[in-house]
Amino acid sequence: MYLRNLFLGVSIVLFFSMNASAEDGSGTIDASTFGCISEMTRAGDFYVDNLQGNLAATIAVAESPTGGTYPPGSVIQLVPTEVMVKHEPGFNAATRDWEFFELDVASGATSIKTRGFAETVNRFGGNCFACHIQARPEWDLICGKDHGCDPIPLTPIMIIAIQKTDPRCAAVELSAEETDALKALAEAMPAQ
């Protein structure tokens, strides 16, 4: 009986330890967590949400001219295929409790290609964490035009066009400038 209870106790501890990295405090993060980018709230150049219902606090930090620390559950997304999620304190001190996701997106579907820290690489071959760690401390690993990160190879009009063409969202018409920006981006993208 003692060994059975000990085994059960160890199993429970291991279960919660192993699953802690997949929790945001309100449930498991999986592909269904991520949907149409434009259904989130725009904050500057990117979109935000909060998986714990604390959207006002997430927006307050995202729109602060002096930065701040994002609350747990915060979701930051610049383009449909890349997402950051803020976990509870203690999730990962090196990443300030952020987890990075690379997504595959299609009409009505999302799948997680990679998630984590060092293993998450964007479509241009850049490591997400290696770039975001360059953000000055007051920006809580969020890159922006003047936050200390290396610039990304996307113009503002390219970003808007990419956001508007999320295949999980209802189709919207692009301007001629946005269409040209997407063509230029396609020509510059490395073959996959």
SS (H, E, C) 97-131: CEEEEEEEEECCEEEEEEEECCCCECCCCCEHHHH
- Of 45-54, 58-67, 77-86, 183-192, the poorest mean pLDDT is in 183-192
The answer to whether the Cα torsion of 143, 180, 122, 41 is positive or negative is positive
- Whether 76 is covered by a domain: the verdict is yes
For residues 5-10, average pLDDT:
30
Contact 84, 102 (CB under 8 A): no
- Whether 147 is covered by a domain: the verdict is yes
- Whether 178 is covered by a domain: the verdict is no
Distance CA 50, CA 17 (A): 23
- Whether 123 is covered by a domain: the verdict is yes
Q: Which domain holds residue 94?
A: 24-151
pLDDT tens string 60-117: 999 999 999 999 999 999 999 999 999 999 999 999 999 999 999 999 899 999 999 8
Is the pLDDT assigned to residue 15 strictly greater than 70?
no
Full-model pTM: 0.82
Q: Which tokens belong to 84?
A: 């950051």
Q: Which of 102, 73, 186, 84 is nearest to 141 (CA)?
A: 84
Distance CA 136, CA 82 (A): 21
- Whether 186 is covered by a domain: the verdict is no
Query: How many domains is the chain partitioned into structurally?
Result: 1
Distance CA 83, CA 118 (A): 14
- Whether 52 is covered by a domain: the verdict is yes
- Whether 126 is covered by a domain: the verdict is yes
Burial of 18 per CB tally in 10 Å (0-12, 13-18, 19+): exposed
- Whether 51 is covered by a domain: the verdict is yes
